[in-house]
Amino acid sequence: MKYLLNRKGIKWFKKILLDKYFRKEIKPLRKEPENKLIDYLGWHKQNEDYFFVGLPLLSGRLSGKKKSLIRDLVKENDLNLRLTPNQDILLCNIHNKNKSKIKKALKKIGYDNLNDINEIQRHALACPALPLCGLAMTEAERILPEVLTRIENLLTDMNIEKTILFRMTGCPNGCTRPYMAELALVGSGQNKYQLWLGGSKNLQRLAKPYLQRMELDDLERTIKPLLEFWKKSSAENDFGDFINNQKESFIKNLLSEIN
């Protein structure tokens, strides 16, 4: 098609399309609505008689008491399950009359306040990596909770209230889509990660690689200068937007002072 368009031109193409094939008016381009990352967590009305509830799972792992209670709830109440691309689980077809019973049962396994889900955990993803994936060069899922706590602590220490959409993988295959995150670590050697920055909260923009082999121990000291500038310059912007609005050389300079 591209060679045809290049040779014959758009005018010719539109004429052929209208005269011979489509035969309707071609409307002007429509602006797409802004995309939002919707995760369906918490309680939602499914239809008049039913609810569904989205439960956050860190890295999609469900085990122990949580797993058996959810299995019992599904069996007893004839629920449907949906697994989401965000590695969470939705319990569907909850009849109105069963809602409070299920709410109580979920409370027992820690799902008591689904209106107040930890923001950084909510959208963070990590791939299985070591020991499950033969391609992994380094850890991801197993250390995700620890890495999230480190980022959260840093944000709290710096009095930054906003959160950051974070992703992590054990190798550059990028199975948890790190290349659209605001901040991502992509395994590139033992305990070493590429640092990707500048994706967006709605995952519609590609991030860029800024460092190739950052030691995990250096995470805080590497990103702290960026967070300081973010805090000073654009409290309104998300972190990824802030990075994206700066010149690449400016971000690189900030990083080179550390690495």
**Whole-angstrom distance, CA of residue 31 vs CA of residue 85:** 26
Among 54, 56, 170, 240, binds ligand SF4 (CB under 6 A): 170
**Whole-angstrom distance, CA of residue 182 vs CA of residue 184:** 7
Angle at 180 between CA 59 and CA 133, to 5 degrees: 40
Nearer to ligand SF4, 90 or 168 (CB): 168
Among 73, 90, 136, 207, binds ligand SF4 (CB under 6 A): 136
**Whole-angstrom distance, CA of residue 139 vs CA of residue 247:** 31
CA 87 to chain centre: 10
Among 4, 81, 135, 235, binds ligand SF4 (CB under 6 A): 135
Q: Where are the alpha helices (DSSP H) in the chain?
A: 2-8, 10-16, 64-77, 99-108, 119-123, 144-157, 219-233, 239-245, 248-256
CB atoms under 10 Å from CB of 51, counted, come to 19
Nearer to ligand SF4, 42 or 172 (CB): 172
Among 46, 173, 191, 259, binds ligand SF4 (CB under 6 A): 173
DSSP assignment, residue 97?
A: G
Count residues contacting ligand SF4 (CB under 6 A)? 13
Residue 171 within binding range of ligand SF4, rule CB under 6 A: yes
The stretch among 13-21, 28-36, 79-87, 133-141 that binds ligand SF4 (CB under 6 A) is: 133-141
Nearer to ligand SF4, 98 or 188 (CB): 188
Residue 151 within binding range of ligand SF4, rule CB under 6 A: no
Nearer to ligand SF4, 93 or 173 (CB): 173
**Whole-angstrom distance, CA of residue 88 vs CA of residue 79:** 16
Among 79, 90, 148, 175, binds ligand SF4 (CB under 6 A): 175
Distance set, CA 64 to CA 24, 45, 67, 107, 145 (Å): 59, 29, 5, 16, 18
Among 90, 127, 195, 255, binds ligand SF4 (CB under 6 A): 127
The stretch among 47-55, 69-77, 171-179, 220-228 that binds ligand SF4 (CB under 6 A) is: 171-179
User: Which residues here bind ligand SF4, judged by CB under 6 A?
Assistant: 127-129, 133, 135-136, 140, 169-171, 173-175
